Chains A and B, each alone.
Chain A
Amino acid sequence: MDSKKEYMAGFIKIDEMKKIIVLGSSLLLCGSIFSQEDTLRSPQNYKEIIIQGQEKGSKEKASAQLQQSPDKLLSTIPGITLIKRGNYALEPTIRGLSAAQINTTIDGMQMFGACTDRMDPISAYIEPTNLEKIELSTSPNGNQQGSAIGGGINFALMKAQLNASKKFSGSAGAGYQSNANNIQFLGTFQYSTKRWAVLVNGIYRKADNYYAADRKEILFSQFEKWNAGANLIVALNDNNRISLDYIHDEGYAIGYPALTMDVAFAKAYISALTHTYKNKTRKLRSVETKVYFNFINHAMDDTKRPAEMVPMHMDMPGTSRTFGMFSKAKYVLNAKHVLNFQLNAFQNDLHAEMTMYPDFGSEMFMLTIPDGMRRTFGLNASDKWIVNRKLKISYGGRVEFNQSDITTEIGRQTLTSFYNGDGAQSRMSGNVFIQTEYAISNKIGVFGGVSYAQRPPSIQELYGFYLFNRVDNHDYLGSPDIKNEESISGNIGVNLKSEKFAISLEAFANSFNNYIIGVLLSDYSNMTIGAEGVKQFDNISNAFQTGGEMTVKWSPIKALTVQSVNSYTYGIDDLGGYLPYIPPFKSINSVRYYHKGWNVKLEHVGAFAQNNVSTARYGEGTTPAFNLLNFAVQKQIDLKNDRALYAEFGVENIFDAPYYEHLDVMKIQRQGVNFVLRTTFVF
């Protein structure tokens, strides 16, 4: 821990450092007072959140997790911070990186939001009922499906289980949250035989406007959605399986109080066909091949806003279509080398348009994403080298070829408005990485690695046309000449583990070249009414980020678990100013007590103030610190025939604290006190 402090001290301003020292030493103090010998629960892995599945004792957990929103689940993962624009579809960032800097996939499938205002990160189109787990990687790695400089999030889909202990199984649940009058109903159902199994799941969620502290109503924060998923698995023989996935997600009348428009509907259709080969006795251990297609249809809407808020009525529909495939192979060369290969290819087509209806004059039409297309072919290779019992090294890389173009005549015409030349282009990108783990003893392990990665600019960054960014109140233009963003990153960490105490500490540093931001075009006039000007996506020579995460888990007695998850990121740009979208120090601390099916949890969530902002350059303001207290009681009643009834009562933000987080757009206050009631029947 001291080494971390020292490491970070070089980059952090004194006041910041003081706070960390105070916090760090108080945690150490806690640790030294309470460390006693006892058994620790299952080993922690904070890079993965398991939602449902076949893990031991997961039923209880599943019942609780299934009822959470994906946003809530993501917010508890260290290193992930969410950008909030409404009470729906929060956008994940990893260690201060977002959008095209990170690689977000659903079961390895590439998918891209259709909204030009980033209203629909793809996490908006899946629900916990669809998911087995959420996997986070914080640096470029061998599993990556696309070029990114900041790791990624994969939402692994829940699969039907062959030859399950029960032929019919499933769950049904209902939940209510008082604050926004939020109701939800969900169900999962599985039919399993030796040869084939099918799983279906569904969820319906609806919420009214939510209330911030002091019952302050946040207008236009309502939403309604449903989601249904299905998976069919057929075992062709002992080694080969075919799996079919389909997810249908529809949201309606979704409010975005931080933006000037809401959403009339947001629909996603996700489908995949997967073949898996597994053979535990062969050198070619497994091959997984997936062919997929997904489509998003998204329509922004301002008709529900009062006339005085809408200077001009607009329709802004957008679509995103992706089809692709990947094939992954695992090859065990010998006892010391496990090789992984992956070939993937996909194509994404984006279309976004805007029709404006003035009170006087003719309607106006434009493309905001002029029918951009991106085709990607990638090849990954990595080797996990088990040097000896103590030392493991994994290394590898990815090469990627990208083609981008504009596919329609009106799209090409639109490009002439801001670019003199052909928009079609091809690029190479990729990454190389090495990660080592060294077990000093059973209780102490250290790890570290370095990587170099490049990512191509996104379709928005290439061809975007007057994309409005509410944070800095500017319209953004794309730039086909923009260079690939590059990063050299390093991470170092230590895991300490004893019977009752586990601590994991990791620090990272990321040095960027050609970092992509918006650069002001001073002689351009903004298109969006009320905007301050026009910026163009462009490279700045360099940027730097550093930070780290610390998680502590401590079980003084079997029934009691104390856990603390802490994240910090710091970022500066080429001029030494602060980068935008950098979360301040955040800490989630909880105490859980288990007793005879009762589970009582008291949770503290807090963040320091973020004063490291460059308001002039990026439009961000400062954010004050906040502290919240949440409380929940869960009770699991085991019934006959392996059935169970689960119930939860909770209070979120007990003291009705007014707060917002730094990445919340327009500083709109988050939910005040909220009473939660949930029940799930598992059979």
Chain B
Amino acid sequence: MELIRYFKIKKMKNIFLLSLMSAFLFTSCNKENGIPVDPITGEPTPTTEYKLLKKDTTDNDLIVELYSKTETIEMGYIPLYLKIRDISGSAVENALVLFMPMMDMGMMQHSSPVEQPVFNSDSDYYEGMVVFTMASSMGSWNLTVNVNGEDASFTINVLENPTGTKYVGSYNGTDGEKYIVSIVRPFEWSVGMNDVSIMVHKNQSMMSFPAVSDLIIAMDPQMTSMGHGSPNNVSPVSVGNGYYDGQVNYTMTGDWRLNLDLIKAGDTIVNSYIDILF
């Protein structure tokens, strides 16, 4: 019953989101200078799809706004979005933008895997991604956004994944390399077959995390508390740029562990896993 209610609520949520989106479409008709306007107040309404996390101004007076899909940032693969405006308030498109995340652990500092932001003219956002490999409890995360040579800086509070979940992991491969395996957001799980996407990076140095696209992944989802798996899974296969797409079959809700064996030249070099709860 509890779950049915949950699904009903979810459905309601979806309807709610849909109405929100249609409101957005409506407002987007009224937008001037590329800024959507609230039809009632006439104020700009930037936070329609993405949540504004932080704002910073660079030395050359560019206003950089950092957005994400959620109000908080968790460990793992996080898509991040940017809006950049000049002092007059007009949007700066097609600037050269670079992410440089940095974890300061006191004794040492390291970066993490990123995908550099690219301007998307459909959404009017710069879209990029950072894999946060640890939580801010281990130190402090700082994300530097370099726009046309000038920096904006954001302190990011990265939360642990919720109890029972693990969306990113670092592993020492048997080939002597270090690998970072993360599950690609967004994911919204349902019972049955789900598309799943995995990303693999190599930890080459403290500052260099190239994507790895030449592995074979063997995926075996397991319900850990019952000791059974599920049939008909499709192990993720490389689609380039470090992404691996497959299908996962959740026969029920609960705690699932996706066991992901990374295979290179026929040898299993890493036994990694991602923990899911829904």
Cβ–Cβ < 8 Å partners of B226 in chain A: 312, 356, 358, 364, 527, 529
Given A410-B7, A417-B231, A364 and B223 contact (CB-CB distance below 8 Å): yes
Q: Which of A412, A418, A529 contacts B231 (CB 8 A)?
A: A418
* B251 vs chain A, min Cβ distance (A): 5
Q: How far is the CA of A414 from the CA of B190 in the complex (A)?
A: 9
Q: Which of B164, B191, B250, B251 contacts A362 (CB 8 A)?
A: B164
B229 interfacial by beta-carbon distance below 8 Å: yes
Cβ–Cβ < 8 Å partners of B193 in chain A: 413, 416-417
Cβ–Cβ < 8 Å partners of B255 in chain A: 358, 361-362, 364
Q: Do A417 and B164 have beta carbons less than 8 Å apart?
A: no
Q: Do A466 and B251 have beta carbons less than 8 Å apart?
A: yes
Give A336-373 as 1s and 0s: 1 = Cβ < 8 Å from B's Cβ atoms. Answer: 00000000000000000011101111111111000000
Q: How far is the CA of A360 from the CA of B192 in the complex (A)?
A: 23
B232 interfacial by beta-carbon distance below 8 Å: yes
Cβ–Cβ < 8 Å partners of B108 in chain A: none
B227 interfacial by beta-carbon distance below 8 Å: yes
Q: Do B164 and A364 have beta carbons less than 8 Å apart?
A: no
Q: Do B230 and A529 have beta carbons less than 8 Å apart?
A: no
Q: Which of A356, A360, A365, A416 contacts B3 (CB 8 A)?
A: A365
Given A361-B255, A362-B255, A410-B191, A417 and B249 contact (CB-CB distance below 8 Å): yes
Cβ–Cβ < 8 Å partners of A413 in chain B: 190-193
Q: Which of B223, B227, B250, B253 contacts A417 (CB 8 A)?
A: B250
Q: Do A366 and B232 have beta carbons less than 8 Å apart?
A: no
Interface of chain A residues 356 through 394 with chain B (CB within 8 A): 356, 358-367
Q: Do B228 and A527 have beta carbons less than 8 Å apart?
A: yes
Q: How far is the CA of A526 from the CA of B251 in the complex (A)?
A: 11
Cβ–Cβ < 8 Å partners of B191 in chain A: 366-367, 410, 413-414, 417
B254 interfacial by beta-carbon distance below 8 Å: yes
Give B235-265 as 1s and 0s: 1 = Cβ < 8 Å from A's Cβ atoms. Answer: 0000000000000011111110000000000
Cβ–Cβ < 8 Å partners of A27 in chain B: none
Cβ–Cβ < 8 Å partners of A366 in chain B: 191, 251-253
Q: Do B251 and A465 have beta carbons less than 8 Å apart?
A: yes
Q: Which of A416, A524, A526, A534 contacts B192 (CB 8 A)?
A: A416
Cβ–Cβ < 8 Å partners of B123 in chain A: none
B95 interfacial by beta-carbon distance below 8 Å: no
Q: Do A414 and B192 have beta carbons less than 8 Å apart?
A: yes
Q: How far is the CA of A624 from the CA of B255 in the complex (A)?
A: 46
Q: Do A523 and B251 have beta carbons less than 8 Å apart?
A: no
Q: Do B224 and A361 have beta carbons less than 8 Å apart?
A: yes
Interface of chain A residues 474 through 518 with chain B (CB within 8 A): none
Residue of B whose beta carbon sits closest to that of A419: B232
Q: How far is the CA of A466 from the CA of B224 in the complex (A)?
A: 17
Q: Which of B192, B224, B231, B252 contacts A523 (CB 8 A)?
A: B231
A525 interfacial by beta-carbon distance below 8 Å: yes
Residue of A whose beta carbon sits closest to that of B189: A413
Cβ–Cβ < 8 Å partners of A363 in chain B: 254
* A444 vs chain B, min Cβ distance (A): 60
Q: Do B190 and A364 have beta carbons less than 8 Å apart?
A: no
Q: Do B252 and A418 have beta carbons less than 8 Å apart?
A: no
* A480 vs chain B, min Cβ distance (A): 14
A521 interfacial by beta-carbon distance below 8 Å: yes
B12 interfacial by beta-carbon distance below 8 Å: no
Q: How far is the CA of A471 from the CA of B271 in the complex (A)?
A: 38
A114 interfacial by beta-carbon distance below 8 Å: no
Cβ–Cβ < 8 Å partners of A358 in chain B: 225-226, 254-255
Residue of B whose beta carbon sits closest to that of A527: B228
B23 interfacial by beta-carbon distance below 8 Å: no
Total interface residues in chain B, CB < 8 Å: 26
A233 interfacial by beta-carbon distance below 8 Å: no
Residue of A whose beta carbon sits closest to that of B229: A525
B277 interfacial by beta-carbon distance below 8 Å: yes
Q: How far is the CA of A608 from the CA of B191 in the complex (A)?
A: 48
Q: Do B231 and A521 have beta carbons less than 8 Å apart?
A: yes
Q: Do A529 and B227 have beta carbons less than 8 Å apart?
A: yes
Cβ–Cβ < 8 Å partners of A412 in chain B: 192
Residue of B whose beta carbon sits closest to that of A312: B226
Cβ–Cβ < 8 Å partners of A462 in chain B: none
Q: Do B254 and A361 have beta carbons less than 8 Å apart?
A: yes
Give B185-209 as 1s and 0s: 1 = Cβ < 8 Å from A's Cβ atoms. Answer: 0000011110000000000000000
A199 interfacial by beta-carbon distance below 8 Å: no
* A536 vs chain B, min Cβ distance (A): 10
Cβ–Cβ < 8 Å partners of A51 in chain B: none
* B213 vs chain A, min Cβ distance (A): 28
Give A267-279 as 1s and 0s: 1 = Cβ < 8 Å from B's Cβ atoms. Answer: 0000000000000
Cβ–Cβ < 8 Å partners of B223 in chain A: 364
Q: Which residue of B190, B225, B229, B255 has the most chain A CB atoms within 10 A of its CB atom?
A: B225
Given A415-B192, A524-B231, A365 and B277 contact (CB-CB distance below 8 Å): no
Residue of A whose beta carbon sits closest to that of B226: A529
Q: How far is the CA of A420 from the CA of B277 in the complex (A)?
A: 24
Cβ–Cβ < 8 Å partners of A409 in chain B: 7, 11
Cβ–Cβ < 8 Å partners of B230 in chain A: 417, 525
Q: How far is the CA of A521 from the CA of B231 in the complex (A)?
A: 10
* A423 vs chain B, min Cβ distance (A): 11
Q: How far is the CA of A357 from the CA of B252 in the complex (A)?
A: 13
* A153 vs chain B, min Cβ distance (A): 35
Residue of B whose beta carbon sits closest to that of A315: B1
Q: How far is the CA of A417 from the CA of B191 in the complex (A)?
A: 8
Q: Which residue of A410, A466, A521 has the most chain B CB atoms within 10 A of its CB atom?
A: A410
Q: Do B251 and A361 have beta carbons less than 8 Å apart?
A: no
* B229 vs chain A, min Cβ distance (A): 4
Q: Do B231 and A410 have beta carbons less than 8 Å apart?
A: no
Q: Which residue of B190, B225, B249, B252 has the most chain A CB atoms within 10 A of its CB atom?
A: B252
Q: Do A361 and B164 have beta carbons less than 8 Å apart?
A: yes
Cβ–Cβ < 8 Å partners of A359 in chain B: 225
Cβ–Cβ < 8 Å partners of A523 in chain B: 231
Give A523-562 as 1s and 0s: 1 = Cβ < 8 Å from B's Cβ atoms. Answer: 1111101000010000000000000000000000000000
Residue of A whose beta carbon sits closest to that of B277: A362
Residue of A whose beta carbon sits closest to that of B11: A409
* A437 vs chain B, min Cβ distance (A): 53
* B188 vs chain A, min Cβ distance (A): 12
Q: Do B232 and A417 have beta carbons less than 8 Å apart?
A: yes
Q: Do B228 and A362 have beta carbons less than 8 Å apart?
A: no
Q: How far is the CA of A364 from the CA of B191 in the complex (A)?
A: 11
Cβ–Cβ < 8 Å partners of B231 in chain A: 417-418, 521, 523-525, 534
Q: Which of A420, A521, A525 contacts B228 (CB 8 A)?
A: A525
Cβ–Cβ < 8 Å partners of A526 in chain B: 228
Cβ–Cβ < 8 Å partners of A360 in chain B: 225
Cβ–Cβ < 8 Å partners of B227 in chain A: 529
Residue of B whose beta carbon sits closest to that of A367: B191
Cβ–Cβ < 8 Å partners of B228 in chain A: 525-527
Residue of B whose beta carbon sits closest to that of A355: B3
Q: Do B192 and A417 have beta carbons less than 8 Å apart?
A: yes
Q: Do B249 and A362 have beta carbons less than 8 Å apart?
A: no
Q: How far is the CA of A395 from the CA of B252 in the complex (A)?
A: 49
* A371 vs chain B, min Cβ distance (A): 11
Q: Do A364 and B225 have beta carbons less than 8 Å apart?
A: yes
Q: Which of A364, A420, A521, A525 contacts B252 (CB 8 A)?
A: A364
Q: How far is the CA of A414 from the CA of B231 in the complex (A)?
A: 12
Residue of A whose beta carbon sits closest to that of B249: A417
Given A410-B7, A415-B192, A365 and B253 contact (CB-CB distance below 8 Å): yes
Residue of B whose beta carbon sits closest to that of A413: B192
Name 13 A/B residue pairs within 8 A (Cβ), A-sorted: A355-B3, A356-B254, A362-B277, A364-B223, A365-B252, A414-B191, A414-B192, A417-B192, A417-B231, A525-B228, A527-B228, A527-B252, A529-B227
| A-B interface, 10 closest residue pairs, ranked by CB to CB distance from nearest | A364-B254, A366-B252, A358-B225, A416-B192, A413-B192, A361-B225, A416-B193, A525-B229, A365-B253, A361-B255
Interface residues of A (CB under 8 A from B): 312, 354-356, 358-367, 409-410, 412-418, 420, 465-466, 521, 523-527, 529, 534
Known: A362-B255, A417-B251, A527-B251. 4 other contacts (CB 8 A): A355-B3, A356-B252, A358-B226, A527-B226
